[in-house]
Structure 1
Amino acid sequence: MAQDSAPGAAIYSSLVLLIYDFWVLFISNLYAWRCPTGTILVPFFNKNISKKHLDVGVGTGYYLAHAPLTASHSITLLDLNRNSLDAANRRIGGKAKTLLHDALEPLPIEEGERFDSVSLCYLLHCMPGPPERKVKLFANLRGVLSEKGVLFGTTVLGQGVEHNAFGRYLMSLYNKKGLFGNELDSRKVFEDALRENFEEVDCRIEGVVLLFEARRPRVEKTKRARL
Structure 2
Amino acid sequence: MKAELSDVDRGAAAYTRRSLAFYNWWVLKVSNNLAWNCPTEKILELYREHITENHLEVGAGTGFFLQETLPQGMPRVALLDINRDCLDYASKKIADYNPEVFQENILEPLDLPGARFDSMAINYLLHCLPGNLEMKAETVFDNLIPFLKENGTVFGSTILGADVRRSLPAILLMKLYNRKGIFSNKNDSLGAIMEILSSRFKTFNVEVHGCVVLFWAKGLRASCLEGRSEAVPTALGK
For this structure pair, what is the TM-score category when the shorter chain's length is used for normalisation? over 0.9
Which amino acid in structure 2 is aligned with residue 166 of structure 1?
P
Aligned equivalent of 1:216, options 213, 219, 224: 219
Aligned equivalent of 1:152, options 155, 174, 183: 155
Q: Contact conserved, 1:129 with 1:184, CA < 8 A, in 2?
A: no
Offset of 1:68 from its aligned partner?
Answer: 4.0
Which runs of structure 1 show a deviation greater than 2 angstroms over 4 or more consecutive aligned residues?
Answer: 1-6, 68-72, 219-227
CA distance in 1 between counterparts of 2:225 and 2:178 reads: 34
Give the corresponding residue for 1:117.
119
Offset of 1:160 from its aligned partner?
Answer: 0.4
Q: TM-score, normalised by structure 2?
A: 0.90
Offset of 1:120 from its aligned partner?
Answer: 0.4
Which amino acid in structure 2 is aligned with residue 97 of structure 1?
E
Offset of 1:221 from its aligned partner?
Answer: 2.4
Give the corresponding residue for 1:140.
143
Which amino acid in structure 2 is aligned with residue 126 of structure 1?
C
Mark the runs of 5 or more structure 1 residues left unpaired by the alignment: none
Q: Contact conserved, 1:61 with 1:89, CA < 8 A, in 2?
A: yes
Give the corresponding residue for 2:63.
61
Give the corresponding residue for 2:77.
75
Which amino acid in structure 2 is aligned with residue 105 of structure 1?
E
Which amino acid in structure 1 is aligned with residue 192 of structure 2?
V
Structure 1 residue 99 corresponds to structure 2 residue 122: no
- Root-mean-square deviation (CA, aligned residues, Å) is 1.7
Sequence identity percentage: 37
CA distance in 2 between counterparts of 1:191 and 1:55 reads: 21
CA distance in 2 between counterparts of 1:182 and 1:84 reads: 21
Offset of 1:107 from its aligned partner?
Answer: 1.4
Mark the runs of 5 or more structure 2 residues left unpaired by the alignment: 234-238
Structure 1 residue 20 corresponds to structure 2 residue 26: no
Which amino acid in structure 2 is aligned with residue 207 of structure 1?
G
Q: Contact conserved, 2:128 with 2:184, CA < 8 A, in 1?
A: yes
Q: Contact conserved, 1:142 with 1:222, CA < 8 A, in 2?
A: no
Give the corresponding residue for 1:88.
90
Give the corresponding residue for 2:128.
126
Offset of 1:224 from its aligned partner?
Answer: 4.5
Which amino acid in structure 1 is aligned with residue 132 of structure 2?
P
Change (3 A) 1:188 1:63: same
Give the corresponding residue for 1:44.
46
Which amino acid in structure 2 is aligned with residue 36 of structure 1?
P
Deviates further, 212-221 or 186-195: 212-221
Structure 1 residue 8 corresponds to structure 2 residue 20: no
Which amino acid in structure 1 is aligned with residue 185 of structure 2?
N
CA distance in 2 between counterparts of 1:218 and 1:141 reads: 14
